[in-house]
Amino acid sequence: MLEINLNHLPTSEELPCSDDTPVDNEDQNWLPNILLFLLESIWKDRQDWFFAVDMAIYHTTGANPRVPVVPDGFLSLGVERRKRGQSRNSYVVWEEQNIVPILILEVVSQTPGGEYDEKLAIYARLGVLYYVIYNPRFWKRDGHLPLEVYKLVNGTYQLQIGEPLWMPEIGLGIGRCVLSSDPMQREALSWFDEKGDRYLTPEEQAEQERQRAEQERQRAEQERQRAEQERQAKERLERYLRSQGIDPENLT
């Protein structure tokens, strides 16, 4: 390994924003973007997190700090939501107070990308606490589960059991789902709370609120109809009593 001079590291302006390697299926962008959009709703009042999709991570734990690793998605905590009020071109660890991502997501593609060996070793060396590998299409080919979450324990990744998996250091769980707002009903990844309940997308929340409002409207309409039926029944009774020479206002 080449010795890295930590006093002469390049700045983010000098470094490419990615490795220019194209994704070979739409899930590699779609899935992490779902997680990003959900976080923007769940943590809308927080400014101490950053989630990126297909962005280069530059670090000093490899052979060359100019050679990044580019996961499909990653989450960092304790950093600025927008660095100095602006968007990042890349994630440069030495410009982020040496805070490495706490979670990294890789979506396995048709062309194996070393998710279970080479990248696993890179992320372990980097110190990423949770490493998520999502492999819905080729898991049998690779001899793994469709969704695997590894936690770094004493420098070694250990496969975690349970889905959704609660991650206390992050305050979120992760697991598979089908979004009711997705017209194609594709399997996706989502965040969950500690009880195992899935966080809804803004579209799902809006639909849930619409359904709640419709149910309330129907209850109000049923109550109006019931009151109207009671009024009509009372009027019929009063007419009958008057037809019998009885004043309904003076009943004892």
Q: What is the pLDDT of residues 45-88, one digit of tens each?
A: 999 999 999 999 999 998 889 999 999 999 999 999 998 888 99
Residues 6+ apart with CB under 8 A from 113: 106, 119
Q: Quick one: the chain helix, strand, coil %, rounded to 5?
A: 35, 20, 45
- Which parts of 8-134 are beta strand (E)? 49-53, 57-58, 73-77, 91-92, 103-107, 130-134
Indicate the pairing of strand 172-178 with strand 165-167: antiparallel
252, pLDDT greater than 70: no
**pLDDT at residue number 1:** 43
Per-residue pLDDT tens digits for 6-23: 566 777 676 666 555 555
Q: Residue 134 has which token pair? A: 């999502």
Phi-psi region of 191 (alpha: psi -120 to 50; beta: other; left: phi over 0): beta
Per-residue pLDDT tens digits for 144-199: 999 999 999 999 999 999 999 999 999 999 999 998 877 888 899 999 999 999 99
Per-residue pLDDT tens digits for 99-115: 999 999 999 988 878 99
Single-letter residue type at 64 = N
Please give the full DSSP string across 133-194, using - where no structure is assigned. EE-TTTHHHHTS-SEEEEEEETTEEEE---SSEEETTTTEEEEEEE-TT-TT--EEEEEE-T
Name the nearest CA neighbour of 150 among 178, 117, 176.
117
Please give the full DSSP string across 104-117, using - where no structure is assigned. EEEE--SS--STTT
C-alpha span between 98 and 101 (Å, rounded):
10
Contact 176, 189 (CB under 8 A): yes
Residue at token pair 């419709």? 214
| Domains of the chain listed by start with CATH number | 6-200 (3.90.1570), 206-250 (no CATH)
Contact 108, 133 (CB under 8 A): yes
**pLDDT at residue number 3:** 52
| Higher per-residue confidence, 120 vs 246 | 120
